[in-house]
Each structure stands twice: as structure tokens, then as C-alpha cells.
Amino acid sequence: MYFFDRHEEYKDRIACIDDTGREYTYTEVWDLGDALIGDVPPRQLVLLQCSNDVDSLAAYLAYLRRGCPVILIGKSVDASMVSEMKKTYLKEDGGPVDPELALLLSTSGSIGAQKLVRLSYKNLQSNCDSIVEYLGLTKEERPITTLPMEYTYGLSVLHSHLAVGSTIILTNKTLFNGEFWDMVEQYGVTSMAGVPYTYAMFERLRLREMDLPALKTLTQAGGHLAPELQQTYAAWAAETGRRFFVMYGQTEATARISYLPPEKCLEKPGSIGLPVPGGRLELENDGELIYYGPNVSMGYATCREDLARSDDNHGRLETGDIGYRDEEGYFYISGRKKRFIKLQGKRISLDHVQEMIQKEFGSEEIVCTGVDDQKVIVWSCVDLDEEKLEKLFEEKMGIRGRMIERRKISKIPRNPSGKVVYKELQ
């Protein structure tokens, strides 16, 4: 059975609790979904605007049960973008849709572009099963939604917990809303998921000083977490009897590609760990991480006609990340293939440079872009000492100060999941 099917053993269990405090059993969620989608015919392509609420969850699961491929986007998306998406994909004479196609997601967690990832039923279920296995999930779990439903990481949290009959605390409240933390305490939240930006906010809010005895598991994905922060949370988790998982994934792999077991977090700062159950990682193409597994997507779509395509990837994904493997088989990422430039004949990782500057100046609100054979551009929301910045580059990178350009901005552009949108920095 799929995670979205009607599991007889879960029917009377509480599937979710919403922002109002109302509890819904699995049967109530299934019935609500069927009522919301009405008599839509099987295999009809649908666009669902969602948020972390029971109607969105119920409708989404019902569409999957009905066999309707779903384009999932956020409710807060600009109306013009929604209109363009409908024009591109929901044509009346759009033609056939591949029978294995289940879900279409943006690679960025929003719909700033019309390019979508095509995911099959096998992709969804295989990744769900592997997550359940390595996290050891049971029906006793009570996760709270800290990420958007339309974001692959946030969605995978829902899939994996529904698969085991857990109770999900559904909320659109942010970490800075006191009611969010009231819900964490009141409903005995057992786990929270976050991207690097989330963990920066956890630190600002002093999560590690909160009295949350039910909270047993923290997971992190969606980008590189600074090794120092990884060690901070790994040590705290070990001291307090909790588990902290560092994970790596991409929408193109449905959600998860690898995970670092909690017991290795202190020993291997910066590592993305081992491949998820059922998958494998190889280093090919001059150090690029290549992932193989049943959760690798069918490919991309940029127009309605692409939805008729079958599996283009055949279980192989070129991640675009450059990395290496240690002697025990644990993987590390040194940067994005597209985030390397050449300066003075040297190959420079912009991600490494960015992390170095953030650490030196003690701020996450500093990011880097660059131009081959010209310069590194340092974008910051905080004041930077020009002399100190140039000295840092010259002493640690061997790059002359005149090749550094600093630009002050009011806000770092981020998508709904907290990732930096580098293409908006121009």
C-alpha cells in the first residue's frame, strides 16, 4: 500500500491537529479529501495551491488516491505566476500524461520558474520507505510543520509520518510566533525539521535552553550547515538524550539522498553521511556526486507535452555537487559545480569563500557570487571592514584585494525554505 491509501489499521488514529486545536482522525482526513476533490476523473492533471492546513493535506492525498497528477504550489504565490503555470500546463487539449506521473514540484520550493520536477508513485513511496527506515519512525511520532508543504523536504516529513500512522501538528505559524512554541509544548511535539536558516533562527531563539521534554529528534537538510553549528547541535543532542540527523537531498531525488547517523555527527562535522537505504552514491565527472536509486525523478517538465514523457533518468542523478568520500565511506560536499569560479588561475569555491566570511564576521547575512577571471562579489546586510575583508582573502585564499567587490543590500533574497536565491543577486 502507498502512504496515501486508506490503511485500515490507522483509521481511528489522530492524523493531524490544526492551528485551531481540532483533531482529525485518518478516516476524517480521507473523507474530507474525497469531498474536496469531488468527482474529478482519474489521471486528470490538477494544480493545488497548498499551505500547512488540513484542507490542503486532505485534498493532496485524495488526488494521489484518485490517480490525478498534482502540481503542488504555495497559496502565497503571486497570482500572475499561478496564471502562467495554468497556461503552461493545464491546457484543455494538453494531450496524454504518463501513467506513472504522480507529482510535479518546483526545484526551488516556489514557482519563480516554470521548470518542474516529474515524480512517479515509485519515487514517492521508495523515498518515504527509506526515510521511515533510517529515522526509525513509529506511530508515536508527533512532528510539527516547520517547512512549507510544497517544498520537497517539508512534504517528505508529511509522507514519512503518514506512512506509519503518526500524528502531525499542522501549522502555518512561524518560529517567531509564540503560539508556535505553545503548540510544541501543548501537543508534545517529538520532532522538528529545518534548513540551515532554521537552525540559525533556533540559535537566535535559544532553542537549546527551552524546556521541551517531548522533543527527541531534530533533522536538518536543504543546504550545508556550518560544521560548528552541526557540532553544537550534535553535542546538545548527545547530552540531552536526543537525536540529531544531518541529511542531504534534492527535489530531483524526491527528497533525501543521504543521512549522517547521530552517533557520527560529532566525529564527522560537515559530512552528509551515507546513502539512504536503497540508494548509492558515486564520485564521477571529476568529483561530482552521482546518486543512483529508485527515488530519482523521471526528469523535468517545461511544457505540457513533457508530461507524456516516461522516465528520462533511469535511476541516475547528476547532483551538480562536487564532493569526496573519507576512508570510512562517508561523503562530504565541497561546493556546487556551478558555484566554482576561476581567479588568478585558481579554482575557487564560492560556497567555501562565503562560509569563511560568515565565520570571520559572525553573520549569516553575507553571501558570495562571482565572475570567472574577474572578481568575487560579497553581498552583505551588515557593515564589513574593507581592510579586514581584503586581508582575509589575501592571507587565506591568496586572492588580491582588488579582485573583491563588496555590495551592501538590505535583505538576502531567500525562497520559502530559506535557501539563498543567488540568481536575484545581480
CATH number of domain containing 48: 3.40.50.12780
CA gap 362, 228 in Å, rounded:
12
234 occurs within a structural domain: yes
Q: β-strands 288-292, 299-301: how paired? A: unpaired
Residues 396 and 273 in one domain: no
Nearest to 245 by CA among 127, 109, 151, 133: 133
Residues 98 and 137 in one domain: yes
- Long-range contacts, 75-83 (Cβ 8 Å, 24+): 75/49, 75/50, 75/51, 76/51, 76/416, 77/49, 77/110, 77/111, 81/111, 81/112, 82/47, 82/49, 82/111
2 occurs within a structural domain: no
The tally of CA atoms less than 13 A away on the side-chain side of residue 145 is 26
Q: What's the gap between Cα 390 and its chain centre?
A: 34
95 occurs within a structural domain: yes
Q: Which of 281, 301, 334 is a domain's end point? A: 334
What pLDDT is recorded for position 112?
Answer: 45
Give the chain's length: 426
Label residue 424 exposed, middle or buried (CB < 10 Å: 0-12, 13-18, 19+).
exposed
Per residue of the chain (426 residues), give pLDDT as tens: 999 999 999 999 999 999 999 999 999 999 999 999 999 999 999 999 999 999 999 999 999 999 999 999 999 888 888 998 999 999 877 789 999 999 999 875 443 457 899 999 999 999 999 999 999 999 999 999 999 999 999 999 999 999 999 999 999 999 999 999 999 999 999 999 999 889 989 999 999 999 999 999 999 998 888 888 999 999 999 999 999 999 999 999 999 999 999 999 999 999 999 999 999 999 998 899 999 999 999 999 999 999 999 999 999 999 999 899 999 999 999 877 778 887 866 778 888 889 889 988 988 899 999 988 788 999 999 889 888 998 888 887 777 777 889 999 999 998 776 778 888 887
Q: Which of 274, 308, 334 is a domain's end point? A: 334
Q: Which of 334, 369, 388 is a domain's end point? A: 334
What pLDDT is recorded for position 111?
Answer: 39
Cβ within 8 Å of residue 4, ≥6 positions away: 61, 64, 65, 162
CA gap 226, 232 in Å, rounded:
10
Tell me the backbone φ, ψ of residue 270, rounded to 5 degrees: 90, -10
For residue 396, the enclosing domain spans: 344-424
Label residue 335 exposed, middle or buried (CB < 10 Å: 0-12, 13-18, 19+).
buried
Pull the grid cell for residue 266.
Answer: 560529532
1 occurs within a structural domain: no
What pLDDT is recorded for position 110?
Answer: 40
Residues 122 and 182 in one domain: yes
Residues 363 and 387 in one domain: yes
User: Do residues 341 and 403 touch, judged by C-beta distance below 8 A?
Assistant: no
CATH of residue 371: 3.30.300.30
Residues 232 and 371 in one domain: no
Pull the grid cell for residue 251.
Answer: 527535489
What radius of gyration do the chain's Cα atoms show?
22
Nearest to 24 by CA among 56, 63, 1, 65: 56
Residues 202 and 319 in one domain: yes
Residues 295 and 384 in one domain: no
Residues 243 and 306 in one domain: yes
Residues 190 and 310 in one domain: yes
Pull the grid cell for residue 162.
Answer: 503518514
CA gap 384, 40 in Å, rounded:
57
243 occurs within a structural domain: yes
74 occurs within a structural domain: yes
The domain tally of the chain equals 2
Other C-beta atoms lying within 10 Å of the C-beta of residue 64: 21
Residues 223 and 75 in one domain: yes
270 occurs within a structural domain: yes
Residues 221 and 359 in one domain: no
What pLDDT is recorded for position 345?
Answer: 66
Element (H, E) at 412: none
Can you give the pTM of this predicted structure? 0.85
359 occurs within a structural domain: yes
Residues 207 and 304 in one domain: yes
Label residue 344 exposed, middle or buried (CB < 10 Å: 0-12, 13-18, 19+).
exposed
